[in-house]
Structure 1
Amino acid sequence: MKYTVKSIYFLLGLLVVSCNEGIDPITAVDAGVDETAPLIVINKPIDGFQLKVPEAVAAITIDFEVRDDIEISTVSVAMDGTEIASYTGFLDYRYFIKDDLVYDNVTTGVHTLTITATDIDGKTTTSSIDFEKTPPYVPLYDGEMFYMPFDGDFNEQVTITAATEVGSPSLVGGISGNAYQGAADSYLRFPSADLAQGDEFSATFWLKIDPSDTRAGIINIAPAEPASPSDKPSGFGLIREGSADAQKFILLVGNGTNATWVNPGVPATIDPTLDEWVHFGISISATNAALYMNGELVGETAFTGIDWTGVGDLVIMSGDPNFNGWDHKTEKGQMDELRLYSKALTQQEIQNLIQ
């Protein structure tokens, strides 16, 4: 009988131990003793955030959390010193989260968001961050219709439209601020229908290639058909090819029937082992297609004018999906300060851009 009772006690002990396994310990709180002030975490916007939208007055969503060791009494939210929201009577009296507070009167300039939390003992915490609504981008150059600086995002600045990201492109330090960083099977797409497709067209940008691939597509607006090669009857494309120590650049422009080539050879060849930024200018008029590198004319060809029939999206840093014949696919290098224009740029205009 004694052994039976001992066995029961032993089993009960095991049961208590096993039931406690996996349960987080409960933090003991001395009732009525408030030891610390509330803790505030501002999730959005982050300190230093820049709001870039075309509207003169915009909205922003505020996301924050408040915690206290005993009980939260009040929470106040202020913008530039003026209260915009306040909260009391919390369901969870130690933890309050607000992730959907919308403030719809953000004007151009720097703003300070301040959150103040007070607990039932009167202890108060204040936390602030600064953010800025930048003025809408105003095109700086004649005919400029598209500008992508890659400074913190992949947004086009004239219309504040985000490019579609394919793969895993990223951002690194560039010529001015950040720059686009390519990766395997990665590129950006932007609707070409939103761009003026007239008799004249130009593009300028800085480029630092990744020589691990001896062929790549740089930028294009091209039709899907014919599926191959890159020699298209409409639109345009800039490609590179060669070897690990000599890469030449070729511009192809479709006139409606076939592609006109600007293939200068040596003048448009770089040594990729130098790991240098090169400035490119593409200038297309109704009678001429020209390629510039570092402000110098490296090649030009007379032709009968660009045709835009059936073209797809603008594709940045790849020949995929429509201009990848002859293996001109992803460029894993870097690009910065991409601009497109609805006119044919002169050499002087391109040199002014570089300066």
Structure 2
Amino acid sequence: MKKRTFIYQLVLITVLGLVISSCFQDLGQNPPFDYPEEPPKPPISEDGQLFYMTFNDNYKDARSNKEASITGNPGFAGGKVEKAYAGAKDSYLTFKLSDMPAALGPAVTVGFWYKVNASPDRAGIIVIGPVSEGAPANAQNNRTSGFRIFRENAGGKQRIKANVGNGTADGWLDGGDKADIDPTISPWKYLALVLTEGKAFFYIDGEEVASSDLSKVSWAGCDIMSIGSGEPRFNEWGHLSDNSLIDELRIYNKALTASQIKEIVNHDTE
């Protein structure tokens, strides 16, 4: 019995020695052992994409290779993906729609990551709108075309809303408390406005929080997009510069589905 136990112990020691030797050979071999890496994530689809601004140390649209115009002193900060736009008082970007590779159509998706700063307690976020003819520069509020994505105080939280013009009137996307963000936690949230012929939708992190009937969005008189403020076309109600962070701003000339929006959320979160 003792002899058999000794043989078992000898076999075990021999096997362990071979394993350890193999490990050290892997560490010392030249070239080193090439362990397989995880395949890279597939990129987000560019199908129908008109505009893409990463905010990675510049304010350039990757689709047109055109730079946004800068008002004030916005900056950069750590983003959801690399760097992000960092808002500042009296600061924002404007981008000429004529610099996009194609005109905006009746089906559009605007999506971006957003990390709210609740001071000031209301602000414009992304705005495409026309001039209010005859109104002073500080009372611009023509909502009959384009869209306005903005935030307002709601019992200490920040409620994200949108407004869309159909050429003669405007409609609202107000999801109530479903569209609230707690600024004391201030997580990154993915905001998406989807416009179609017949309906408008607003999503947060791929979940629908508001919808409204929309015959068709009008782009009449819309020539610029504001990023980080309601200025200069949506300022009458005090939706001015936003001190929040904005990242990975994309505009598509098509209506993304909820599942497609969720794919973007998952891609940038994993």
Q: Give the TM-score normalised by the residue count of structure 2.
A: 0.77
Where structure 1 has 5 or more consecutive residues not aligned to the other structure, the ranges are 1-137
The aligned counterpart of 2:193 is 282
What's the CA shift for 1:158? Answer: 1.0
Structure 1 contact 179–336 (Cα < 8 Å) conserved: yes
The C-alpha deviation readout for 1:89-132, integer Å capped at 9, x for no partner, is xxxxxxxxxxxxxxxxxxxxxxxxxxxxxxxxxxxxxxxxxxxx
The aligned counterpart of 1:48 is none
Whether 1:268 aligns to 2:173 is: no
Structure 1 contact 245–273 (Cα < 8 Å) conserved: no
CA distance, structure 2, for counterparts of residue 231 and residue 257 of structure 1:
10
> What SS does structure 2 have at the residue aligned with 1:272?
coil
The one-letter code matched in structure 1 to 2:92 is Y
Q: Which residues in structure 2 correspond to 1:1-355 (within 5 Å)? A: 140-195=45-100, 196-225=103-132, 227=135, 228=139, 230=141, 232-243=143-154, 245-355=156-266
The one-letter code matched in structure 1 to 2:203 is Y
CA distance, structure 1, for counterparts of residue 166 and residue 227 of structure 2:
22
CA distance, structure 2, for counterparts of residue 211 and residue 202 of structure 1:
25
> What SS does structure 1 have at the residue aligned with 2:259?
helix
**Structure with the higher fraction of residues in strand conformation:** 1
What's the CA shift for 1:145? Answer: 1.1
Q: Which runs of 4+ in 1 moved over 3 A?
A: 226-231
CA distance, structure 2, for counterparts of residue 290 and residue 139 of structure 1:
21
CA distance, structure 1, for counterparts of residue 96 and residue 44 of structure 2:
19
Identity, in percent, stands at 36
Q: 1:268 to 1:139 in 2, by over 3 A?
A: closer
The one-letter code matched in structure 2 to 1:170 is G
The one-letter code matched in structure 2 to 1:304 is S
What's the CA shift for 1:336? Answer: 0.5
The alignment covers a number of residue pairs equal to 218
Q: Which has the higher contact order (CA 8 A, sep 6+)?
A: 2
The aligned counterpart of 1:7 is none
Tell me which moved more, 191-200 or 317-326.
191-200
Where structure 2 has 5 or more consecutive residues not aligned to the other structure, the ranges are 1-42
Structure 1 contact 211–244 (Cα < 8 Å) conserved: no
Structure 1 contact 238–250 (Cα < 8 Å) conserved: yes
Query: Rg bigger for which structure?
Result: 1
Structure 1 contact 139–145 (Cα < 8 Å) conserved: no
CA distance, structure 1, for counterparts of residue 196 and residue 177 of structure 2:
24
Structure 1 contact 200–286 (Cα < 8 Å) conserved: yes
Structure 2 contact 154–180 (Cα < 8 Å) conserved: no
**Structure with the higher fraction of residues in helix conformation:** 2
Structure 1 contact 244–272 (Cα < 8 Å) conserved: no
Q: Give the TM-score normalised by the residue count of structure 1.
A: 0.59
The one-letter code matched in structure 2 to 1:286 is E
CA distance, structure 2, for counterparts of residue 212 and residue 187 of structure 1:
15
What's the CA shift for 1:287? Answer: 0.9
What's the CA shift for 1:209? Answer: 1.5
